[in-house]
Amino acid sequence: MPKPMRPKERVLTAIAHQEPDRVPVNYYGNEGINRRLRERFGGRDILDVLEVDFRHVGAPYTGPRVHADPGNGVVCDEWGIRRRWVEHPAGGYWDFCEWPLATATADEIESWPLPNPDHFDYSAVSAACDRCRDYCVVAGGAGWPDIINGCGMLRTMEQVLVDLVTDDEAGLRLIKRRASILLAVAERTLDAGRGKIDMLALGEDLGTQRGQTVSLELFRRHIRPWIQKFADLAKAFGIPCMIHSCGSSSWAFDDFIEMGIQVVETLQPEAANMAPEFLKSRYGDRLAFHGCISTAGPLAYGTAEDVRRNVREVLDVMMPGGGYILAPTHCIQDNSPTENVVAMYDEARRSGVYPKMWSLR
For residue range 293-339, what is the model confidence (pLDDT) as tens digits? Answer: 999 999 999 999 999 999 999 999 999 999 999 999 999 999 999 99
Q: Are strands 91-98 and 82-88 parallel, antiparallel or unpaired?
A: antiparallel
158: burial class by Cβ within 10 Å (0-12, 13-18, 19+)? exposed
Does 75 reside within a domain?
no
Q: Is residue 38 within 8 Å of 285, Cβ to Cβ?
A: no
What pLDDT is attached to residue 92? 86
What pLDDT is attached to residue 359? 41
Q: Which has the closest alpha carbon to 265: 326, 321, 220, 349?
A: 326
Q: Is the pLDDT of residue 353 over 90?
A: yes
For 3, other C-beta atoms within 10 Å of its C-beta total: 7
> What single string gives the DSSP state of each residue in 206-239?
-B-SSSBSS-HHHIIIIIHHHHHHHHHHHHHTT-
Q: Is residue 28 within 8 Å of 328, Cβ to Cβ?
A: yes
Q: Which has the closest alpha carbon to 150: 84, 227, 100, 142?
A: 142
Which residues make Cβ contacts (< 8 Å) with residue 75, sequence separation at least 6?
69, 82, 83, 84, 94
Rounded-to-integer distance, Cα 140 and Cα 146, Å: 11
Which residues make Cβ contacts (< 8 Å) with residue 276, sequence separation at least 6?
267, 269, 289, 292, 314, 317, 318
Rounded-to-integer distance, Cα 351 and Cα 126, Å: 35
Read off the pLDDT of each residue in 30-46 and give the average, rounded to a whole number: 96
Enter the pTM of the model.
0.95
* Cis-peptide into 145, omega within 30 deg: yes
Mean pLDDT of all residues belonging to the chain = 96
Does 47 reside within a domain?
yes
Q: 141 — phi, psi (to 5°)? A: 165, -170
What pLDDT is attached to residue 88? 85
What pLDDT is attached to residue 90? 77
Does 322 reside within a domain?
yes
| CATH number of the domain where residue 230 is located | 3.20.20.210
For 201, other C-beta atoms within 10 Å of its C-beta total: 24
Q: Give the full edge-to-edge strand order of the sheet including 54-57.
A: 54-57, 136-145, 199-203, 241-245, 263-266, 288-293, 324-328
| pLDDT tier for residue 360 given thresholds of 50, 70 and 90 | very low
Domain of 282? Answer: 7-65+100-351
Q: Is the pLDDT of residue 176 over 60?
A: yes
Q: For residue 3, give the DSSP letter.
A: P
Partners of 93 in the beta sheet?
A: 86
What pLDDT is attached to residue 74? 97
> What single string gives the DSSP state of each residue in 49-87?
HTT--EEEE---B-S---S---BTTEEE-TT--EEEEEE
pLDDT tens-digit readout, 88-144: 887 888 999 999 999 999 999 999 999 999 999 999 999 999 999 999 999 999 999
Read off the pLDDT of each residue in 157-162 and give the average, rounded to a whole number: 98
Distance of CA 238 to the CA centre of its chain: 20
What pLDDT is attached to residue 119? 98
Which residues make Cβ contacts (< 8 Å) with residue 301, sequence separation at least 6?
none
pLDDT tens-digit readout, 56-85: 999 999 999 999 999 999 999 999 999 999
| pLDDT tier for residue 357 given thresholds of 50, 70 and 90 | low
* Domains of the chain: total: 1
Q: Is the pLDDT of residue 361 over 80?
A: no
Does 238 reside within a domain?
yes
Rounded-to-integer distance, Cα 39 and Cα 33, Å: 10
What are the b/e assignments for 23-52, b being 16+ CB within 10 Å? bbbbbbbbebbbebbeeeeeeeebbebbeb
Does 331 reside within a domain?
yes
| pLDDT tier for residue 355 given thresholds of 50, 70 and 90 | confident
Q: Is the pLDDT of residue 358 over 70?
A: no
Give the chain's end-to-end CA distance (angstroms, integer): 12
The three-state secondary structure class of 167 is coil
Amino acid identity at 93: Y
Read off the pLDDT of each residue in 252-280 and give the average, rounded to a whole number: 97
Read off the pLDDT of each residue in 158-184 and give the average, rounded to a whole number: 98
Q: 207 — phi, psi (to 5°)? A: -140, 155
